[in-house]
Amino acid sequence: MAINETVSIFSSASLAVEYVDSHLPENPLQEPFKNAWNYMLNNYTKFQIATWGSLMVHEALYFLFCLPGFLFQFIPYMKKYKIQKDKPESLENQWKCFKVLLFNHFCIQLPLICGTYYFTEYFNIPYDWERMPRWYMLLLRCFGCAVIEDTWHYFLHRLLHHKSIYKYIHKVHHEFQAPFGMEAEYAHPAETLILGTGFFIGIVLLCDHVILLWAWVTFRLMETIDVHSGYDIPLNPLHLIPFYAGSRHHDFHHMNFIGNYASTFTWWDRLFGTDSQYNAYTKKMKKMAKKME
């Protein structure tokens, strides 16, 4: 098929989607969001939005997503959903984790966030409402970012487990054998930079509006805090994502230290067989549960 014909087909498909979208009933939430977005643009500079806006989004969402898991430890009913029931959370460990997080967030991540404005300027990333992508395009690009980050995370994470370097860097993250949500970004500064690189690769390749930065941050924080939560909650909407690993998959990694290296999806572990111990353990637990019935 000729290139021009291919371009024509994709252009027609895009126009068809836009036509259908324009004839759908107007979303009642769109107007308030539009007004709030334009208010932000009219009252703050691009530098303030990209830098301090991104910092506030990260900090607010991180601790907001951590809050349910933190509260679960005080609710007896939720104990049945805890994966490693023999290793309860301790306020001492959570306080230690919180102090390290503050250092990582403001001494490691904040300097990186300060480069957001220059990134958007260099690549001419728009801020205006008129060029904001549709919600389904945001979801598609976030999924693309997740696939890229997951691939980077699998191979670099697996490398960090190599016996020659594990004790120098990644051992910090494994200090708590039973993970809890706040521990998601508890790591050696070098690991924050090494594994964090995967977060930015997708942004560099796929970002077409500053809103994608915040949408991708939202998804990534929601996912990483979920898999570190230590709880397997039923009716979790993240389980609707194809090949989503989930909390049990990553909890086993913290308990076993070997295998299940991917951050979000299961395909790399399945392809390279690094989920074999997890699969054997899962089968064993199911047999034991049947015997107890």
In a domain, 1, yes or no: no
Mean pLDDT of the chain, nearest integer = 90
- CA-based nearest residue to 231, from 272, 185, 183: 183
Q: pLDDT (tens digit, 9 = 90+) per residue, 229-278? A: 999 999 899 999 999 999 999 999 999 999 999 999 999 999 999 999 99
* In the predicted structure, residue 39 carries a pLDDT above the cut 70: yes
- Average pLDDT (28-43) is 91
- Average pLDDT (168-195) is 96
In a domain, 200, yes or no: yes
Q: pLDDT (tens digit, 9 = 90+) per residue, 108-142? A: 999 999 999 999 999 999 999 999 999 999 999 99
- CA-based nearest residue to 264, from 249, 244, 247, 278: 244
pLDDT tier at 288 (50, 70, 90 boundaries)?
A: confident
Determine the pLDDT at residue 170.
97
User: What distances in angstroms separate CA 272 from CA 124, 133, 226, 276, 292, one per listed residue?
Assistant: 39, 36, 24, 9, 34
Determine the pLDDT at residue 20.
44
Q: pLDDT (tens digit, 9 = 90+) per residue, 82-106? A: 999 999 999 999 999 999 999 999 9
* In the predicted structure, residue 9 carries a pLDDT above the cut 90: no
In a domain, 13, yes or no: no
* In the predicted structure, residue 107 carries a pLDDT above the cut 60: yes
pTM for the complete prediction? 0.87
Token pair of 143, please?
Answer: 């999924």
Do residues 176 and 254 touch, judged by C-beta distance below 8 A?
yes
Q: 161 by DSSP, 3-state: which?
A: coil
In a domain, 32, yes or no: no
pLDDT tier at 293 (50, 70, 90 boundaries)?
A: low
Determine the pLDDT at residue 10.
36
Most confident of 28-37, 114-123, 283-292: 114-123
Do residues 289 and 274 touch, judged by C-beta distance below 8 A?
no
DSSP state letters, 16-40: HHHHHHHTSPPPTTHHHHHHHHHHH
In a domain, 206, yes or no: yes
Q: Residue 63: give the domain boundaries.
A: 46-292
Number of compact structural domains in the chain:
1
